[in-house]
A and B are shown apart, each in its own frame.
Chain A
Amino acid sequence: MTTVGGQTVVRRKLAINRLRERRPVEPAVIDRFLARHEVPIVEGARCTFLFRGAAGEVHLVHQIFGLPGRIPLRQVPGTDLWYLVLELPDRSRVEYQLEVSRDGRSERINDPLNPHLAHSPLGSSSVCFAHGYEVPEWTKPDPDSRPGSLTEFTVASRALRRDAKVTLYLPARFRRAARYPLLIVHDGSDYLRYAAASTVLDNLIHRLDVAEIVAAFVDPGDRLTEYANSAAHARYLTAELVPRLEAEFPLAGTPAARCLMGASFGAVASLATAYRYPDVYGSLLLQSGSFVFTDIGNDHRGGPAFEPVVRFVNRYRAGPRRVADRLFVSCGVYEPLIIRNRSMVPTFESAGMTVRYVEARDGHSWENWRDRLREGLSWIFPGPQKFFYE
């Protein structure tokens, strides 16, 4: 029992503590306990992570900026059950793994007690949905939403000196007589696979949140080269891809109707492309941009891949330039890039651009980027909802 604002509040003990108080904690009791609870156990702000099995040590490993990267689980005495209670703010979404050490060896595994997984090009990890987090329903297939079409084609790019694959999304009810805005999505295949981009577009267009748009999903060759302020990449998009799309499809063909989008290095590629071609793209949608910079010295701690990024971002910060009219910038507060992204907002604004900046209690993950798409896309290409009064 505790007192909050003069009122007595009865706080129920955490499930794990009620279990620990039992003596002895027989294996069958643990069986029943695990059968009764979803793991991690979310009780208000407190999340209990569990592992059951023979181990010398068990750690929670994660990328939550601000917490130690490895947090030990404690063993319930006399049992093979391990636990850790973490306080996670409302609506948080946290990806993690468990590091299990036994016989002098360690392995990282997804939480065997938690069925929720997040996927990325680097593999999968377990996900903890803190109190209040819900997977947005507009990210799931909706039978009422008419699906757009996805077709692949290849651009023989002279700028990139390779064949570049493009997956083109055309909205349902696509009409040649109409004029569509164009969204170019970096890491396109990953957005389609890990952020359900096609489903999200179908749903947001169907719900009138987002205008009917054409989206070109592009993929990098050598990502760390092409997306790190590459002149060749910017030329490919601007001098090869956009003109071809505007010649072949009924696109509006104005800066206001063109947007570059990307996450992480893809956000750098978007900004760098608009920087090189400042009159072409009206909007940028930048998610968890890898905008690593230094204020003094060269110690950016990003490794060699970040060298060209740091040079570009430092140059940009030294002389901010208007590269588009409107920027939607988002970042997860649990990712190390949060401070970089926050720092870029006044820099962008100082260049006279309209910036919408959004933070989420999430990490550097595809599902974070997926969950922000409604807010970002509906701001950049608002749907006709304001016109509909049924």
Chain B
Amino acid sequence: MRVTLLGPQRRPTIDTVAASLPPREPIATITAGWQEREGDDAELAKLLGSRDVNLLLHQRWLDVAERDPQYAAGERTAGEIIDELQALYLLRLDHTLQAVYEVQRRSGSDRLRASVLAESLAAVQELDAAHLHRVSQVRLEFYARLRPHDRPVIAEHRAEVAQVLAGAAALVVAGGHVGVLTDVLHLFNVAAALRSPVIAWSAGAMALAERIVLFHDRSAHGPGHPEVYTSGLSLVRGMVPLPHARARLLLDDAPRMAVFARRFAPARCVLLENGTRLDIDDGNWPPATRVLTEDGHVTTLEAA
């Protein structure tokens, strides 16, 4: 499947991508990351030549919550468990990553330090993997118990979504709240219904990856640890998408970025800045893709 990842759309480039799609066919859009502003998509519609069909996944999710209270209650409980798991993971992550940074800063034999650093990073990777597994387990148990595919309200929405996607020239996924977006993408089984190319940016791009990594080095209380949040749609493999990388990450802090890159290896940390366009065909990325290197610098894929 062809996937196009774009940089943030404050200065839109989606119109040029849309222009290359077969004319007259509708373009499905997902703006659920905007939550209650989901329907404020007039500007996007204009950029897509007014042939957009918004799947309104957030609105559908609200409808499910209202018409299927049992499902909504189960979802809330699962959400609370996941929130608690995330808090506990962050607690452990803080200590584990601090150890990595301390080993990295430590003076002494480079050879010894390098091997200990590798072990420390492996501990972080193990923690990330264990956390992702736990979160997946909670979701699987939730799905096994609530069986969304057997629930009439959800089935009705899934069918409608699949119908629109079947006739669409492309699916466009905008940014916003990556957690909300990913939840509704899973709930309405979007990945299974896809038949056409996908174009995404910001949170939309993150949701297409195998795992979603949250990051914000410029938060009000100082740099936060990049954290694994949940599984994405896995339409793009081997990539940790980093939208707004320059604005959100301390890219000039090479040791910190080195830990970031090595922690998620072999996946590549890919910068999605203003003006970025990555056309990915059969898993092949353009050579100009900008990535974080394992020494914490930014370079192109071909130079890496």
Give the B-binding residues of A (Cβ under 8 A): 204, 209-210, 256, 356, 374-376, 378-379, 382-390
Contacts and interface: CB of A to CB of B under 8 A. Distances in A.
Contacts of A210: 220
Interface stretch (B142-150, B171-179, B263-271): B171-179
B155 to A, nearest CB: 24
Given A388-B177, A389-B203, 5 more contacts: A256-B87, A384-B179, A386-B214, A386-B219, A390-B10
Contacts of A383: 220
Which residue of A378, A384, A386 has the most chain B CB atoms within 10 A of its CB atom? Answer: A386
B87 A385 contact: no
A209 B219 contact: yes
Contact of A387 (B179, B222, B244): B179
A94 to B, nearest CB: 25
A375 B216 contact: no
Interface string B166-189: 000000000111111000000000
B220 A209 contact: yes
16 contacts: A209-B219, A210-B220, A356-B221, A374-B220, A374-B221, A378-B220, A378-B221, A385-B219, A385-B220, A386-B215, A386-B227, A388-B177, A388-B203, A389-B202, A389-B203, A390-B10
Contacts of A256: 87
B208 interface: no
B175 A390 contact: yes
Which residue of A210, A356, A374, A390 has the most chain B CB atoms within 10 A of its CB atom? Answer: A390
B216 A385 contact: yes
B232 interface: no
B175 A378 contact: no
Q: How large is the interface on B (under 10, 10 to 19, 20 to 34, 35 or more residues)?
A: 20 to 34
A390 B8 contact: yes
B175 A382 contact: no
Contacts of B216: 385-386
A73 B222 CA distance: 41
Interface string B207-234: 0000000111001111010010000000
A99 to B, nearest CB: 39
Given A209-B219, A378-B219, A386 B224 contact: yes
A375 B219 CA distance: 9
A376 B220 CA distance: 9
Interface in B75-116: 87
B214 A387 contact: yes
B208 to A, nearest CB: 12
A375 B220 contact: yes
B6 interface: no
Given A374-B220, A378-B220, A384 B215 contact: no
A35 B87 CA distance: 56
A390 B220 contact: no
Report the 10 A-B pairs with minimum CB-CB distance, sorted nearest first.
A378-B220, A379-B221, A389-B202, A209-B220, A389-B203, A386-B216, A386-B214, A378-B221, A389-B243, A390-B175
Contacts of A209: 219-220
B206 interface: yes
Contacts of A376: 221
A375 B221 contact: yes
Interface in B276-303: none
B55 to A, nearest CB: 19
A374 B220 CA distance: 7
A385 B247 CA distance: 13
Nearest to B242: A389
Contacts of A379: 221
A33 B244 CA distance: 49
A210 B243 CA distance: 22
B62 to A, nearest CB: 10
